Amino acid sequence: MGTMIQRYALTEDDFRGDHFRAHSIPLLGNNDLLSLTRPDVIGEIHRAYLEAGADIIETNTFSSTRLPMSDYGVTDAVGEINRAAARIAREAADEYTARTPDRPRFVAGILGPMNRTASISSDVNDPGARDVTFEELRRAYGEQARALIEGGADILMVETIFDTLNAKAALFAIMQEFDRAGTRLPLMISGTITDQSGRTLTGQTPEAFYNSLRHARPLAFGLNCALGPDALRPYLQELSTVSEFHVSCHPNAGLPNEFGGYDLTPEAMAATMGDFARSGFLNFAGGCCGTTPDHIAAIAAAVD
């Protein structure tokens, strides 16, 4: 989503809209607010990916929890942001499903990582220091999950997980919201291998990450972000070997260049993703940072 939003060269006024016209803090760059202030842009991006062949689109809610939004002073809008984002995606998915009823499209409500971690010290001189508690994380993720369910998400995806304890708070909150709503949506869980060490930021291998969260019984476990598909290969293979659930992979379009862009072409990315599918490593294929509708179109053709 962020890659495509950048192409619109939006201004501070776009991020403020009527909702936040008089807000005292700059909002430029808080992409999740665009579901309220420029829903036309978010809807257009969803439709571009659906047109490219996506079966599942993700809500524009990567940072739409109370803790990250507090940095912008917009915590009171968290529920509204998530509901709006889910409804925008829902409308686009339903539009494409109506065109081809034998091929339904789905909405994944995204619960992204926090800008606070329950496992890593916030003070280099105090190993026990933390800037967030498990309970604060649980409440924040519960609020988000509730709004995504209300907005019409088909799936809830906890993604870009670098801290497994944060993810446990998210999953616990989701289960509580399922009980409250009297429903249960499929879950997807996706971790991030930060570098060639083959571990998450909190030190877990793919197998350890899987074993820590398998109790949630998700539709799929997966890996996303940080690395391109070639670099992810051994870690995806490890996960697919141990997982009793479906496996997903949505890598970056390579590593960022010196300008912050991504250079891996759709054809090159699709070739690797197609090989993953033929090797039996994955069931869900997609893309993260730097992936455009052209990348998704190529991946869809490669794994078809």
Please classify residue 249 by burial: count the beta carbons closer than 10 Å to its beta carbon, then call 0-12 exposed, 13-18 middle and 19+ buried: buried
pLDDT in single tens digits along all 304 residues of the chain: 999 999 999 999 999 999 999 999 999 999 999 999 999 999 999 999 999 999 999 999 999 999 999 999 999 999 999 999 999 999 999 999 999 999 999 999 999 999 999 999 988 899 999 999 999 999 999 999 999 999 999 999 999 999 999 999 999 999 999 999 999 999 999 999 999 999 999 999 999 999 999 999 999 999 999 999 999 999 999 999 999 999 999 999 998 898 889 999 999 999 999 999 999 999 999 999 999 999 999 999 999 8
Per-residue confidence (pLDDT) for residue 258, from 0 to 100? 86
Residue 73: strand, helix, or coil? coil
**Residue corresponding to tokens 């010290």:** 121
- Extended strands (E) in 77-185: 106-111, 155-161
How many CB atoms are located within 10 Å of the residue 272 CB? 20
Per-residue confidence (pLDDT) for residue 260, from 0 to 100? 86
Q: Where exactly are the structural domains of the chain?
A: 207-304
Per-residue confidence (pLDDT) for residue 97, from 0 to 100? 99
| Backbone phi and psi for residue 157, each to the nearest 5 degrees, phi listed first | -120, 120
Rounded CA-CA distance 48/291 in Å is: 12
Per-residue confidence (pLDDT) for residue 204, from 0 to 100? 97
Please classify residue 98 by burial: count the beta carbons closer than 10 Å to its beta carbon, then call 0-12 exposed, 13-18 middle and 19+ buried: exposed
Per-residue confidence (pLDDT) for residue 123, from 0 to 100? 87
Q: Are 191 and 170 in contact (CB under 8 A)?
A: no
Residue 35: strand, helix, or coil? helix
